[in-house]
Chains A and B, each alone.
Chain A
Amino acid sequence: MTQTHEFEVIIVGGGGAGLMAAMYASQGAKTAVISKLYPSRSHTGAAQGGIGAALGNSEEDHAEWHTFDTVKGSDYLGDQDAIEFMCLEAVQSVYDLEHMGLPFSRTPDGRIAQRYFGGHTNNVTGKPVMRSCYAADRTGHMILQTLYQQCIKNGIRFFDEYHVMDLLIENGAVAGVVAYELATGELHVFRAKAVIIATGGYGRIWEITSNAYSFTGDGVALTLRRGIPAEDMEFFQFHPTGILRLGILITEAVRGEGGVLINDKGERFMERYASHVKDLASRDVVSRAMYLEMREGRGIGGKRYLYLDVRPDTVNKYAEADGRTRPDGSLYRVTAQEILSKIPDITDFCRTYLGVDPVKDPIPVQPTAHYAMGGIPTDKLGRVVVDENNTVLPGLYAAGEVACVSVHGANRLGTNSLVDLIVFGKHAGIDAAKYAQGASLQPLPDDPTAYTQETIHKLMTGDGSEKVAEITRDLRAMMFDHVGVFRIEEGLKEAQVKLEELKERYQHVCVRDQSKQYNTELTNTWELGNLLDLAQAVTVAALARTESRGAHAREDYPKRDDANWLKHSLAWMKDGQIVLGYKPVTITKYQPKERVY
């Protein structure tokens, strides 16, 4: 039995972006949030290091500097109008979060504490600047909790543990979504004038990842299937410091507090790759340097990992060598106690999973798949745009990691995702409510759940000669090898062939659990279908882009090629194949230059 619900605005996803959108949409429209997890389980809660905003609480800083750093970090692929908007709005947004109750760490004079982060600089001196506003090393946790608390205060309607499987479009406009209720196995149709997709990223495509099990790209996959392109899919960020094998993130804040990367010879090798900011270079730069070190046999014991060293002696030694000072001009020196108080969660992860105490031993790390720069194309108001001319699809919005505005271009700076969620979540919410006031509900198609039912039926009745777990494992290993930090034509072509094989194998899986209630085997299987589609879009877009830019590093095309490639890619799914198109990058103040850190 399918139930039908009616709202003005439906938000899919209860993470930072979704909850922010809900807060603002609900002020002007009848709103509900649908989430496959309890909102407090969303991956925003895993964010550690901080949210960037030029508050200037500890030293001089300006939104314009934040803008330029973001443009440069994006390797000039970010749209400069959107970046400027985000960096200006960031300041008020952080104050808004504080007013909502977010318990930021504090400066000695009681203001929001800020710390260093990769790629954020004083544009005059070129030195790192304290721009990342933080709550210890659980900033995302505090954002998620604070927004969820405010949603409770404001009586927002939630449908928890409902898995959205399809988007309904009628007469060229949004009509609603179809969701599968985990507790009952029933399908629900949610009619809405506007739908905001805020389902997060898709790092589960890769073997070593910082991303949660639930980060399966559902939002991008379902819009792809409904004829909406995905933008800049070849750009996926590998964060330099994941815990060896597990991929669990060690925030960049550890390097912000003075930690350094060390190779097997005990060298601080980042000096050779980024002589100005060293360990605080952009993530793409650091991850590549780590790969090169390991390739040269300088991984620890010759193996494929390096050390992140945040022991006080090491920190103090390099701080002195760098001439690093405190805001009051005194020499930067830390004690073990100070380090532990700034990174309590990281300390706990290291002790729990590695048996390593970060103030006594170096932490074994390797690059880990972390963040999707690409996603559903939107404009500054979060409206989804569906072609080269940025034509808006009425009523459809996207915000957060699932969206590509694009403010991150080819490489996101640390702390800029949380800014993105808050700024664009808010504006998507405001605009969706405004749109809903002037729009009417679209009629439903004759059988709104047809596609969902058919697909579920297929998954439940397959011949079962293939296992979801095996396909998932093979997909992730293959993508990590061929479509990881470095890419090359042969590898990408091989990945394409392998993906065809994996997709064929997927036709033979069967969900053995035939029960209705909490059939998580079914939802896992559905999610694998999404990952396969997205892996294909990533690979095809990466093969086509014959240059290196930001996180997309082609060994066979090591240079950035602005003449041919200063453009966003758009990937459409047509009859199971990816078709590419391109659209220009918006450049306002900053002409592309060589990127040196």
Chain B
Amino acid sequence: MSQATLKIYRYNPEEDAKPHYDTFTLEVEPEDRILDTLEHIKGYIDGSLSFRRSCAHGVCGSDAMRINGHSRLACKVLVKDLDAGEILIEPLLGLPVLKDLIVDLTPFFDHYKEIMPYLVNNDPPPEKERLQSEAERARFDDTTKCILCAACTTACPPFWSNRRYVGPAAIVNAHRFIFDSRDQGTAERLEVLARPDGVWRCRTVFNCTEACPRGIRITKAIAEVKHAIETGDLTTFVTPVEEE
């Protein structure tokens, strides 16, 4: 047991003219998840502290927030993972804050829907499964891991400055279908992504890749989509170059 101090962003639209921070000090174990500390505060100190959560082990995407300035899932960061000293907890950036750590996800899901996030295949299905080789399946494996937590898009400077940009999460999900050998919607999807608010807003800042709790190589996926738009080539693997 040791003590931790959490400084948490607070905003209740029914009471507060503007946001403020509250500080809580509590007993913690080094292995406690940040989510555990928030639950403790809500349960024992201040019931009005509001945040989303469900699975508590990094698979549902509910509790993305900024922890010491980085977009993270509160259930995937342990107290011992952080430097000693005050822990700063804030809502994701770039989306309207509704209450405390809860942001309005509507714009995020709207962008997701823009890229046609579903398999398009108009051939009558075979009696059994469609065949796909192990290599074809591996081609888009990484981008199937996305849990739509919004950590990437809300860590993206181009998204902060232009919320019409579809953002990394939408591109990741487009990638998942563009490189799926069974899909026939590639042309249409690439057309959406080639628009001014599509992939070209990406400045290869790498914040998204750093933020992704699923370890998806997002910048690489985006580079592959850019390459596909430019060349129509869906087979080459692209390694993005970090911009200085």
The answer on A and B forming one complex is yes
Residues of chain A whose beta carbon lies under 8 Å from any beta carbon of chain B: 37-38, 40-43, 45-46, 55, 94-95, 98-101, 103-112, 135-136, 138, 141-142, 145-146, 149-150, 152-153, 183, 212-214, 246, 248, 345, 348-349, 352-353, 467-470, 472, 511-513, 515-521, 524
Q: Is the CB of A40 within 8 A of B148?
A: yes
How distant is the Cα of A518 from the Cα of B102 in the complex, in angstroms?
8
Given contacts A212-B54, A352-B58, contact A103 B118 (CB under 8 A): no
Q: What is the minimal beta-carbon distance from A107 to any residue of chain B, in angstroms? A: 8
- 7 pairs from A and B in contact (CB 8 Å cutoff): A43-B60, A95-B129, A101-B182, A107-B134, A111-B128, A141-B147, A513-B48
How distant is the Cα of A213 from the Cα of B57 in the complex, in angstroms?
11
Q: Name A515's contact: one of B48, B58, B125, B146 (CB within 8 Å).
A: B48
Q: Name A111's contact: one of B31, B100, B131, B136 (CB within 8 Å).
A: B131
Q: Is the CB of A106 within 8 A of B137?
A: yes
User: What are the 10 tightest A-B residue pairs by CB atom distance, in nearest-first order?
Assistant: A101-B119, A469-B43, A513-B48, A110-B131, A149-B118, A99-B125, A521-B47, A153-B118, A512-B47, A41-B60
Closest to A151 in B: B118
B145 on the interface (CB 8 Å rule)? yes
How distant is the Cα of A110 from the Cα of B99 in the complex, in angstroms?
48
Closest to A112 in B: B129
Q: Is the CB of A142 within 8 A of B131?
A: no
Provide the residues of chain B in CB contact with A353, threshold 8 Å: 31, 33, 57, 78
Q: Which of B129-184 contact A (CB under 8 A)?
A: 129-134, 136-137, 140-141, 144-148, 176-177, 180, 182-183
B55 on the interface (CB 8 Å rule)? yes
Q: Is the CB of B44 within 8 A of A469?
A: yes
How distant is the Cα of A469 from the Cα of B40 in the complex, in angstroms?
8
Q: Is the CB of A101 within 8 A of B118?
A: yes
Provide the residues of chain A in CB contact with B12, threshold 8 Å: 515, 517
B15 on the interface (CB 8 Å rule)? yes
Q: Which of B97-129 contact A (CB under 8 A)?
A: 98-100, 102, 105, 109, 113, 116-119, 121, 125, 127-129
Given contacts A40-B61, A95-B128, A212-B55, contact A110 B133 (CB under 8 A): yes
Q: Is the CB of B43 within 8 A of A468?
A: yes
Provide the residues of chain A in CB contact with B141, threshold 8 Å: 103, 136
Task: Give the size range of B's interface with the partner.
Answer: 35 or more
B196 on the interface (CB 8 Å rule)? no
Closest to A245 in B: B31
Q: Is the CB of A106 within 8 A of B133?
A: yes
Provide the residues of chain B in CB contact with A511, threshold 8 Å: 47
Closest to A514 in B: B48
Provide the residues of chain B in CB contact with A101, threshold 8 Å: 118-119, 121, 177, 180, 182-183
Q: What is the minimal beta-carbon distance from A516 to any residue of chain B, in angstroms? A: 7
Q: Is the CB of B59 within 8 A of A213?
A: no
Q: What is the minimal beta-carbon distance from B240 to any residue of chain A, in angstroms? A: 22
How distant is the Cα of A213 from the Cα of B35 in the complex, in angstroms?
11
How distant is the Cα of A421 from the Cα of B130 in the complex, in angstroms?
22
Q: Is the CB of A150 within 8 A of B118?
A: yes
Q: What is the minimal beta-carbon distance from A566 to any residue of chain B, in angstroms? A: 37
B62 on the interface (CB 8 Å rule)? yes
B42 on the interface (CB 8 Å rule)? yes
Given contacts A108-B134, A149-B117, contact A45 B55 (CB under 8 A): yes
Q: What is the minimal beta-carbon distance from B35 to any residue of chain A, in angstroms? A: 9
Provide the residues of chain A in CB contact with B33, threshold 8 Å: 353
Closest to A44 in B: B60
Q: Is the CB of A135 within 8 A of B125?
A: no
Provide the residues of chain A in CB contact with B134, threshold 8 Å: 106-108, 110
Provide the residues of chain A in CB contact with B50, threshold 8 Å: 513, 518-521
Given contacts A212-B55, A353-B31, A517-B98, contact A105 B60 (CB under 8 A): no
Provide the residues of chain A in CB contact with B52, threshold 8 Å: 41, 520
Q: Is the CB of B99 within 8 A of A348?
A: no
Q: Is the CB of B137 within 8 A of A512?
A: no
Provide the residues of chain B in CB contact with A348, threshold 8 Å: 58, 215
Q: What is the minimal beta-carbon distance from A175 to any residue of chain B, in angstroms? A: 30
Q: What is the minimal beta-carbon distance from A397 to any residue of chain B, in angstroms? A: 24
Q: Among B46, B60, B177, find the residue whose CB has the most chain A CB atoms closer than 10 A.
A: B60
Closest to A94 in B: B129
Provide the residues of chain B in CB contact with A99, threshold 8 Å: 121, 125, 129-130
Closest to A153 in B: B118
How distant is the Cα of A146 from the Cα of B177 in the complex, in angstroms?
11
Provide the residues of chain A in CB contact with B55, threshold 8 Å: 41, 43, 45-46, 212-213
Q: Among A40, A135, A472, find the residue whose CB has the most chain B CB atoms closer than 10 A.
A: A40
B76 on the interface (CB 8 Å rule)? yes
Q: Among A345, A352, A469, find the residue whose CB has the most chain B CB atoms closer than 10 A.
A: A352
Q: Which of B12-68 contact A (CB under 8 A)?
A: 12-15, 31, 33, 39, 42-44, 46-48, 50-62
Produce 1/0 per residue, B181-195, CB < 8 A to A: 011000000000000
Q: Is the CB of B47 within 8 A of A517?
A: no
How distant is the Cα of A515 from the Cα of B145 in the complex, in angstroms?
36
Provide the residues of chain A in CB contact with B42, threshold 8 Å: 469, 520-521, 524
Q: What is the minimal beta-carbon distance from A559 to any residue of chain B, in angstroms? A: 38
Provide the residues of chain B in CB contact with A468, threshold 8 Å: 43, 47
Q: Is the CB of A248 within 8 A of B57?
A: yes
Closest to A469 in B: B43
How distant is the Cα of A361 from the Cα of B22 in the complex, in angstroms?
41
Q: Is the CB of B43 within 8 A of A212?
A: no
Q: What is the minimal beta-carbon distance from B163 to any residue of chain A, in angstroms? A: 19
How distant is the Cα of A219 from the Cα of B54 in the complex, in angstroms?
17
Q: Is the CB of B60 within 8 A of A212?
A: yes
Closest to B14 in A: A515
Q: Is the CB of B14 within 8 A of A183?
A: no
Provide the residues of chain B in CB contact with A40, threshold 8 Å: 60-61, 147-148
Besides A45-B55, A515-B99, 16 more A-B contacts (Cβ < 8 Å) are A41-B55, A43-B54, A106-B133, A107-B134, A110-B136, A138-B59, A138-B144, A142-B144, A213-B55, A214-B54, A352-B76, A353-B78, A467-B43, A517-B13, A520-B51, A520-B52
